[in-house]
Amino acid sequence: MFCKFCGKYTDNTNGVCNDCAGKSDSLTTPIVNATNNAANSGYDAKYGLSNAIAATVITAIGLILAYVAYAMALGSIASANGIFSFVTFIINVPSIILSIIGIKKGINGIGDFKFARAHNATPVATLVLGINAIACGASTLLINIANLIFAFVA
């Protein structure tokens, strides 16, 4: 909670910090929007942005690996060569791991947005990149599943 007079963070549930509690007789007008004030809480429009950027980059690398594995899976269908199937599997493993990490970081990015939003900050880029990472990670997982089916069934 934040002090309604000075905007500082306080653990007091009455909305007045210890500094202002002693002089509360002279303070009659609370500061407008001091409760959960983003300027006083350390949250701004860039809160969580590095986490969301990392999520997007990680899932993009996973997606690139998934497409490489997809090309290998198509090669294994065309040539009926077992080595392509093995290489496809080896490329799919890090791609799956990266997509899962990216989805987790994307969810964290959305959580960062919600947390900062509760403190009157609006890190929209964090939200957008978090959603992007989740979508990219989910599509990467689907591509990897198709890769494994193509490589080992066909």
pLDDT in tens, 92-136: 899 999 999 999 999 999 998 988 888 788 889 999 999 999 999
Model pLDDT, residue 58: 95
> Phi then psi for 82, rounded to 5 degrees?
-65, -25
Structure tokens at 89: 């599997």
Q: Where are the domains of the chain?
A: 1-35, 49-153
pLDDT in tens, 26-77: 555 554 444 444 444 567 778 888 989 999 999 999 999 998 888 877 766 5
